[in-house]
Structure 1
């Protein structure tokens, strides 16, 4: 109905559309010029959108970029197939480089969703595709919590992550290393390594390998992590 729109929502969506049309990022002044909104108004709206995870800024860059939360909405609306297709080569390369089954996962709400797997030996890795797991405890979940601040904040508002071993120190270690290790925390006898995959600077997905603790020792995990990081960087989209 005419006149029934909420002005703040209308302005926020207009700003998101401007940023999308500018290639996924835009300066505040550009947003103001195109929308016709005052800079102070634009600043207040983009700050709120950033706090919610719909926009983000990069260190040393004053532009605003589309954030992980809005990119995940696009994924939910049908972007999963694109991610599978674009990252399938990375899965095969990781398995060839490490000798272990590899997995592709994305954040879905407050959980992890497995989109794809590659296991040439057919030992059951594909059964994980479509499965959801909690963020807490898993290597993949640690990657998302460590590198997606809006997701971490949202989850912390709902539950105490420290009860599940997700301490500030553990997340800081993941950020420092660039990868996450799960040494039997989630499943007894199973080790897992995970690295982030970025798109336009934002973490969109995670790549992982898993194996028994006798086969995938901690030393092999760390060696595999560096190989996986190299592959992840090579497939990142800017």
Structure 2
């Protein structure tokens, strides 16, 4: 076996078994590694996005990339069932097409959706996958998953321009994403994050014709959806 890989995986397992967070000294004690050795491995895991630190917190947490892998291997149907009542509430309140999406590798996967009953409406895209950059929900994921953003910027810099980077920064600051006919002509959308223990697990979106979803309506829906996510 390759010792460095074995030690790194042991550290990840220790953090997971402890509920998702451990301090350096605790990690060193459980893995029986020197603190300097454990720290060096954690630096590499942090750089790769498999562990992360939070502001003013000395503990190490499981990072975006490993949580994303866990979601891909996990129970999507369970998440869909658990969040369906919130999706239904958003559909009733907005009258537009609503959807639940999750990050899947470097793509957006549309896990669930309810189409608007109106004749002129946005399609649901349920079961489809789309690139992360461009759509409101994809930019939302990039804003709330820094390591995923860094990974995509390094791998696909040619298709992710400075305009997208600036918009991602604005989304992170205000807490939700807006799309006014950027992704699809004639269609506007808004997306808000679903967070658990401070980590993004999924995103909710509302999309519809731009003639109905004005800028002010999008802002109103953002506030409503955020409130439904917090109830």
TM category (shorter chain) comes to: over 0.9
Please, what TM-score do these two structures have when normalized by structure 1? 0.89
2:186 is aligned with 1:189: yes
Alignment length (residue pairs):
229
CA distance change for structure 1 residues 29 and 195 in 2, over 3 Å: closer, same or farther? same
SS in 2 for 1:166: helix
SS of 2:182's equivalent in the other structure is coil
- 2:97–2:123 Cα contact (<8 Å) kept: no
1:1-238 aligned within 5 A: 5-119=1-115, 121=117, 127-160=124-157, 161-163=159-161, 165-167=163-165, 169-234=166-231
Match of 2:75, SS state, is: helix
Using the alignment, how far apart are the partners of 1:88 and 1:75 within structure 2?
17
Q: Distance in 1 between matches of 2:162 and 2:180?
A: 14
**SS at structure 1 position matched to 2:222:** helix
Q: CA deviation at 1:77?
A: 1.2
Structure 1 residue 225 displacement after superposition: 0.4
Unaligned runs of 5+ in 2: none
Looking at structure 2, the residues matched to 134 and 28 of structure 1 have their Cα atoms a distance apart, in angstroms, of 36
Normalising by structure 2, report the TM-score: 0.92
Q: 1:209: Cα distance to partner?
A: 0.5
Q: Which moved more, 1:153-162 or 1:38-47?
A: 153-162
Runs of 4+ in 1 over 3 A off after TM superposition: 122-127, 161-165
Q: Secondary structure at the match of 2:208?
A: strand
